[in-house]
Structure 1
Amino acid sequence: MALAAVIPRQASDPRCARPADVVQGQLPPRLRRCRGLPSLDHRDFMRVSLIHNPSAGDDEFSREHLVWLLQEHGHVLAHEAAKNEDWSHLIEDPGDLVVIAGGDGTVGAAALKLIHRHVPIAILPMGTANNIARALRIHGGPAELIAGWPTARRRPMDVGVASGPWGKSWFIEGVGLGLFATAMAVLDERDSRTRSKPGTRESKLERDVHTLKGLASEYPPLLLDGTIDGRPLSGKVLLVAAMNIAAVGPNMDLAPNADPGDGQLDFALVREERRADFIDYVTTRLRGGEATPPTDVHRGRSLRLAWSGYDAHIDDRAWRGENPMPDAHAAIEIDVAAHALEVLLPPATENA
Structure 2
Amino acid sequence: MLYALHTKTNILFIINPISGGRGKLRIPDFIDKYLDKDRFSANFVFTEYIGHASELADEAAIKNFDVIVAAGGDGTINEVATKVLKHNIILGVLPLGSGNGLARFLTIPKNLRQAILAINAFKIDKIDTAVFNNKCFFNLAGMGFDAHLSSVFSGDKKRGLTGYIKLGLQEVFSYKAEEYLINIDGKDYKRKAFAISIANSSQYGNDVYISPNASVQDGLLDVCIIKPFPIWKLPVLSYIMLKGTAETSDMIEIIRGKNIKITRKNPGPVHVDGEPLQMDAEIEISINPLSLKVIIP
Range class of TM-score, shorter chain: 0.7 to 0.9
Are positions 1:341 and 2:292 aligned together?
A: yes
CA distance in 2, matches of 1:50, 1:269: 36
1:132 aligned to which of 102, 117, 133: 102
Unaligned runs of 5+ in 1: 8-32, 34-44, 199-203, 347-352
The equivalent residue for 1:318 is 276
3-state SS, counterpart of residue 164 of structure 2: helix
The equivalent residue for 1:50 is 13
Q: Which has the larger radius of gyration?
A: 1
Q: Is the 8 A contact 1:217 1:279 kept in 2?
A: no
The equivalent residue for 1:305 is 262
Q: Is the 8 A contact 1:70 1:76 kept in 2?
A: no
Decide which moves more: 245-254 or 100-109: 245-254
Output aligned runs, 1:1-352, within 5 Å.
1-4=1-4, 6-7=5-6, 33=7, 45-56=8-19, 57=22, 62-70=27-35, 72=37, 74-77=39-42, 79-84=43-48, 85=52, 86-87=55-56, 88-149=58-119, 151-163=121-133, 168-189=134-155, 191=156, 195=157, 197=158, 204-248=160-204, 251-273=207-229, 276-282=232-238, 290=243, 292-293=245-246, 294-309=251-266, 310-320=268-278, 330-346=281-297
Question: What is the letter of the counterpart of residue 53 of structure 1?
Answer: N
CA distance in 2, matches of 1:215, 1:238: 12
The Cα of 1:81 is off from its aligned counterpart by 2.4
CA distance in 2, matches of 1:313, 1:149: 29
Residues 42-92 of structure 1 deviation map (CA, whole Å, 9 limit, x = unaligned): xxx422122112334566962232234336464212x43222354143021
3-state SS, counterpart of residue 182 of structure 1: helix
Residues 91-135 of structure 1 deviation map (CA, whole Å, 9 limit, x = unaligned): 213433222222222112111111153322121112211111001
Task: Give the direction of change, closer, same or farther, for the CA distance of 1:94–1:213 in structure 2 (3 Å limit).
Answer: farther
3-state SS, counterpart of residue 195 of structure 2: strand
Pairwise CA RMSD: 2.7
Report the TM-score, using the length of structure 1 for normalisation: 0.71
Residues 149-208 of structure 1 deviation map (CA, whole Å, 9 limit, x = unaligned): 454432111111112xxxx3111222211111111112223x1xxx5x25xxxxx31331
CA distance in 2, matches of 1:316, 1:132: 11
Question: What is the letter of the counterpart of residue 227 of structure 2?
Answer: R
Unaligned runs of 5+ in 2: none
The percentage of counterpart residues that share the same residue type is 21
Report the TM-score, using the length of structure 2 for normalisation: 0.83
Count of residues in Structure 1 that have an aligned counterpart in Structure 2: 284
The equivalent residue for 1:21 is none
CA distance in 1, matches of 2:189, 2:169: 26
Q: Is the 8 A contact 2:182 2:191 kept in 1?
A: no
